[in-house]
Structure 1
């Protein structure tokens, strides 16, 4: 049995005698959040980006049945209802799982922030979130398009998100896909400061200085796309690089560890102190990924891995949105004129 399963089984066994039946009354959201047994974000979870329909529901249910305790969701993934179905079908105690969702760009206007989280909660079938992230530091005009709203700042949006914590709709708030400059803007004004920052991290885009900066200021780092260019949506990006799972360096290291390349890469992500959220809808991958929890590295191995950084970003909508993202980070896209202004 994998380590995560053992820990989860022990925790549930301890709690089981207290919660065999339905509660006689419903606790306020604040009390439910305070009673959460997951005090810190788990270092390993299931991503749900590009998981469709029934596949998403089954993947979430299966992962939770194995002992996963962390689900990463978002409104723009358009599958939060199915993610919520998977949570419900797994019949797990809400207090033993961590659920993250994200505010989409069309809902940055302060009066739209609370309705947006309430919609996510309704779709997920939950009373509160553990973490709610500003998905991008970019505001769109409400609707279905990507027209920029240059009147709404990330500070305006953050202030409204702070109120979500005060209203007990989420335990923590955070950010996603921010540059260092934009992060500092929030740190300069926050009353409730970011708990976590989710951004692209993998062996081909290690961003060691940026990761270390988060450690210095006490912000958790969540690595999305932790397996790099294995996601089909990244086909053609940095075509000079081999698929990560076929990279000779990683294949050799995986052989040393007696593990798959995917397991070894995920283990490295956790050992450097980041949270990894690999996405899969395949039972075998969901199960096999758990064994990354059992892999360790020595100092020399960690150093050698750091020398494999390609500074290759796979996810960058700067050109399509007309705004310069990641301006002070590796592999950003520079735009000309007004279109190149960083929001």
Structure 2
């Protein structure tokens, strides 16, 4: 296992804005998994006392994709799991994310260096702008009016040039903001991670990304099984439609739902710290669907969003998507 050598933030940042070619990082510069695996282990809300074992167990079981983020506050333990696993760095895909407090260049550089150090890796495979929202450093959730998503994207492009990450991407963006980034990028988004599951399918949005060549990563692919969500919708594990379909596939509901995501061409990153579920979830890779079954699933879309912090932040997120942020006082709202 390779670990990054300590480098001062100032030293790294000093070299980021020297002239660079307009192409993304050459494959010879960093070796590793060449394309994002369609199935991975999520770590959001994973217990700090259990996530290291979960990551090691998953990697030793054959997983080769770990989805992490600085704001999850468990990347150091995730890194322990990576280090303990019997797997070479170049054989796994590691994603992390830039939090809202860290959009300014100095803070962003410190943030990616911390993620690299905590994860115990010398480079990331993918680094995402976690939300299209910048907070004033140290004053969250006060919105930083001076730093745009375009400023943040330019900083992230320089992380590719500095060999800190192989790819960069976005997360939780509205369609208009994806289009805006695509119009200005020199190194363009490799992937977009957002909430999509049977209760919030957003098929048109998924298809849009296929058309522009951006991978889609589905977080919370099992909908409202996440205890963080307080939803009025019936838990998907109790949904008669999915229980019946799982029975036809001789599979669990979780396996069947994850398989649907994979079959529609989306990357899924279910979170678990339990060996039983980590192992069981891999069964999704063996399940396929007929066209009629895929159509039947499409007809069950409830257009219910589980994760929307926009109200707490006072910003309108997902403005051109299903289930956009609704604020009590739209006159004071900032649209992002």
Give the TM-score taking structure 1 as reference length: 0.89
Matched, 1:205 2:200: yes
Say if 2:303 is the partner of 1:307: no
| Pairing 1:341–2:334 present | yes
Partner of 1:127: 122
Counterpart CA distance in 1 for 2:184 and 2:31 is 29
Q: Which residue of 1 aligns with 2:17?
A: none
Contact 1:176 1:197 in 2 (8 A): yes
Report the TM-score when normalising by structure 2. Answer: 0.90
* Distance of 1:338 and 1:164 partners within structure 2: 37
1:228 aligns with 2:241: no
Q: Which runs of 4+ in 1 moved over 6 A?
A: 29-32
SS in 2 for 1:223: strand
Q: Equivalents in 2 of 1:281, 1:30: separation in Å? A: 35
**Does the aligned pair in 2 maintain the 1:107–1:142 contact within 8 Å?**
yes
Q: What's the RMSD between the two structures over aligned residues?
A: 1.7
**How many equivalent residue pairs?**
314
Q: 1:188 to 1:31 in 2, by over 3 A?
A: closer
1:256-271 equivalent positions in 2, closer than 5 A: 256-271=248-263
1:193 Cα deviation after fit: 0.3
* CA deviation map 1:179-220 (0-9, x unaligned): 001111101100000000000010000000000000000000
Work out which of the residue numbers 248, 272, 284 in structure 1 matches 2:276.
284
Show the counterpart of 2:312.
320
**Residue 31 of structure 2 corresponds to which residue in structure 1?**
35
Question: Aligned ranges for residues 230-245 of structure 1 at < 5 Å?
Answer: 230-235=225-230, 237=231, 239=232, 241-245=233-237
Unaligned residue ranges in structure 2 (runs of 5+): 6-24
Shift of 1:143: 1.5
User: Would the aligned equivalents of 2:30 and 2:163 in 1 still touch at CA under 8 Å?
Assistant: no
2:87 is equivalent to residue 92 of structure 1: yes
CA gap 1:288/1:334 in 2 versus in 1, 3 angstroms:
same
Q: Does 1:112 align with 2:104?
A: no
The Cα offsets for residues 137-191 of structure 1, whole Å up to 9 and x where unpaired, read as: 0000111631111111000000000000000000000000000011111011000
Change (3 A) 1:337 1:71: same
Q: Say yes or no: does 1:255 pair with 2:247.
A: yes
For 1:113 and 1:145, locate their aligned partners in 2 and report how far apart those are by CA, in whole Å. 15
* Alpha-carbon distance between aligned partners in 2 of 1:144 and 1:284, rounded to the nearest angstrom: 41
